Amino acid sequence: MYSRVALAMVAFAANSVLCRLALQQQHIDPISFSGLRIVGGAVMLGLMLLGSRPRRYPELSWVNASLLSAYAFAFSVAYVAIDTGTGALLLFGTVQLIMTAWGLCKGEKMTVLKATGVAMAVAGIGILLFPTARAPSPSAALLMVISGAAWAAYCITGKKVRHATAATAGNFLMAAPFAALLMLLNRHDAHAESAGILLALTSGAITSALAYVVWYSVLPGLSSTMASAVQLSVPCLAVLGGVMFMGETLDLHIIVSAVIILAGIGLISGAEKSRSP
């Protein structure tokens, strides 16, 4: 299972890099990016269901489709109005807080070892992102918090999913008409170069749709605390992706933060394994 968790985290980080390439370099506007991302994911997952044997049909959920839409559009709109470090802190801080609180409310035990792991992972994120964090505008900060809350809820509801592909396909297919409507309403402010369209479709079809299927397949086997903690590795992996593919500098604080984050996640995993029957 943990190999699939690692695969999902790498895909999420790749998604972050694609988003940065598309939006920070202004190849496409945020509404068009998110709209094409959702539509691309819907097409990919629809084709997967059509080719599945035995034939499966999408599992439709207005709640999950709404959460997916809220996450994607709020994130993209906020992304162009907030610096990367601050945005990631708000997004993943919100996810961590909500999912950990939900787990505690549902009876998950917070042992000393697990609490130490969470603290280490959060500290690692702070070391990684605080140097670049800047005070955001209230509206951009609110949008990023909304995005994080929607994603946390999307992950929580995903723990009850029985068939990851059918559920994820249903979410994207139901979100696609809303995405198309928003793109239509935004048509006068839209701009999209070929590079931006390609990045959005790649993000939607591969590092979103396929990655979310993998993520939904492992969520039922993870506690809420563990599911939120492993996602703290995404900003670090995204930074490393920038170093590998965008020529960014590998600083000592990146290495230190990566070690601390991974050590914290390892402690949480060890704490949960020690409590398993």
What size, in residues, is the chain?
Answer: 277
Which tens digits make up the pLDDT trace of 64-79? 999 999 999 999 999 8
pLDDT category at 251 given cuts 50, 70, 90 is confident
The CB-based long-range contact list for 103-110 (8 Å cut-off, 24+ gap) reads 103/223, 103/224, 103/225, 103/228, 106/224, 108/223, 108/224, 108/225, 109/275, 110/225
Residues sharing a CB contact under 8 Å with residue 163, sequence separation 6 or more, in sequence order: 56, 59
One-letter amino acid at 120 equals M
Which tens digits make up the pLDDT trace of 186-205? 999 999 999 999 999 999 99
The domains of the chain are located at 2-275
Which tens digits make up the pLDDT trace of 84-116? 777 788 888 899 999 999 999 988 888 888 889
DSSP 67-135: HHHHHHHHHHHHHTTS-HHHHHHHHHHHHHHHHHHHHHHTT----HHHHHHHHHHHHHHHHHHGGG--P
Phi and psi at 250, nearest 5°, equal -90, 105
Do residues 185 and 59 make contact, with C-beta atoms less than 8 angstroms apart?
no
Element (H, E) at 218: helix 211-218
Read off the tokens for 196.
Answer: 């931006």
d(CA 2, CA 209): 19
Which is more confidently placed, 118 or 134? 118
Residues sharing a CB contact under 8 Å with residue 255, sequence separation 6 or more, in sequence order: none
